[in-house]
Amino acid sequence: MRGRRAWLIMMALAMVTINGCSPETRYRALSKIFEEIPRPGEEVQPKPVVRKARRPETETPSAPLPSDTDALPETQAVALKRDLRELLRRLPKEAAGGVDWSEALKEKLIEPKAGLGAENPDQPVFDMNVELIPEGQPVFKVTFPHKEHTQWLACANCHPGIFQMRRGADPITMAKIFAGEYCGRCHGKVSFAVATGCPRCHLALAGPK
């Protein structure tokens, strides 16, 4: 008895399956329940889904392009200022701990402009070393590089106000440099100080390499 009922159910299921799986039947059955069931043989084109904005749409003001740090909002200006501090911290340092500005320039970590305009033709870099040898003390020979100096300064900054344009014409002594004359006009004030070490200028004092 039981085996017969099972057999009947099996037959019914098979009938439903065979009938229900023909495309027309499936279309008829499914379209009663669901919308947009494609007809047999019809290509289905996916429709783009358009959703509404979650936030109310407002007119976005076009932000002016900042030309300078000061046109920026306060927070960004502050951040940039902190970045400059950060840049300063990252610049190469010389022996005494100060910034090695020449090295920073060489590594292109900073690119100072040569003028205030949009285009500023830079002055040519003057690559000439001047050797100053104190009388009878060749070991204290000073090698002055024009190259590093003309990357920053114009000729008229030093000549002839601070240095005459003739080698050995000025009675330069370390005491005068310490007192802020000659090299001491800048060195120790805005550029590396004497504490950086003697061999920075007195190359021979660095000893044999």
Name the residues that contact another protein, by CB under 8 A: 68-70, 84-85, 87-88, 98-99, 101, 110, 112-116, 122-123, 151-154, 156-157, 185-186, 189-190, 193
By beta-carbon proximity to another protein, the closer residue of 24 and 122 is 122
Output the smallest distance, CB 185 to another protein, in A. Answer: 6
Termini Cα distance of the chain:
110
AA identity, residue 74: E
By beta-carbon proximity to another protein, the closer residue of 28 and 159 is 159
Output the smallest distance, CB 85 to another protein, in A. Answer: 6
By beta-carbon proximity to another protein, the closer residue of 30 and 179 is 179
By beta-carbon proximity to another protein, the closer residue of 151 and 200 is 151
Burial 148-177 (b: 16+ CB within 10 A, else e): bbbbbeeeeebeeeebeeeeeeeebeeeeb
Output the smallest distance, CB 135 to another protein, in A. Answer: 30
Residues 6+ apart with CB under 8 A from 38: 27, 44
Output the smallest distance, CB 143 to another protein, in A. Answer: 21
Q: Decide: 125 and 147 in contact? Cβ < 8 Å.
A: yes
Output the smallest distance, CB 54 to another protein, in A. Answer: 37
Encoding tokens for residue 172?
Answer: 């330069």
By beta-carbon proximity to another protein, the closer residue of 69 and 143 is 69
Encoding tokens for residue 53?
Answer: 């904005």
Strand partners, 95: none
Q: Decide: 158 and 168 in contact? Cβ < 8 Å.
A: no
